[in-house]
Amino acid sequence: MKRGANARLSRLNLAPLATVTVSSVEERNQANEGVVDDVPDERQWVSAGETAGAWIELEWNEPMLVSEIELHDRSSLVENILRGTLLFDDGSAIPVPPLPPDGSAWRSTFPPRMTRRLRFRIDKVAGRSTGLAEIMVFGPL
């Protein structure tokens, strides 16, 4: 389902309300300061040399109703996410195809579901390190 930019901007991004944990973080990078701040920029999560198997997890204090997730790969010609999986605390999963290497958005919209925890697991990469520029989570309109 395609929405105009104004529709997305009028909704609350739930990601900044979550506690962020990651499988690893590059020493000079602060994973939870920029990867959920609504701005896909240089403040991003970069793993400590991890490739496939790296993950980022969002956990909320209470269940959230979610229906759309937006992922932004780090803009790079050599470090790219080629496949991943979104995992929910109820055991359900959404496969993620290659993310756009220019850092533009990849979106998944799905029937609303309640969750307290969401993990994005990176299953295949190009390069020697992986991560995200931004992850956004939205509820239904």
- In the chain, pLDDT over 70 holds for what percent of residues? 89
pLDDT number for residue 29: 61
The pLDDT of 61-71, averaged and rounded, is 97
State both tokens at 64.
């959230």
> By C-alpha distance, which of 73, 59, 55, 68 is closest to 127?
73
Q: What is the CATH number of the domain that holds 57?
A: 2.60.120.260
Pick the more confident residue, 81 or 37: 81
Cα angle vertex 7, ends 65, 86, to 5°? 40
Instruction: Note the pLDDT tens digit of each residue in 88-133.
Output: 999 999 999 999 999 999 999 999 999 999 999 999 999 988 999 9
The parent domain of residue 31 ranges over: 5-138
Q: What is the model's pLDDT at position 113? A: 96
Q: How many structural domains does the chain have?
A: 1
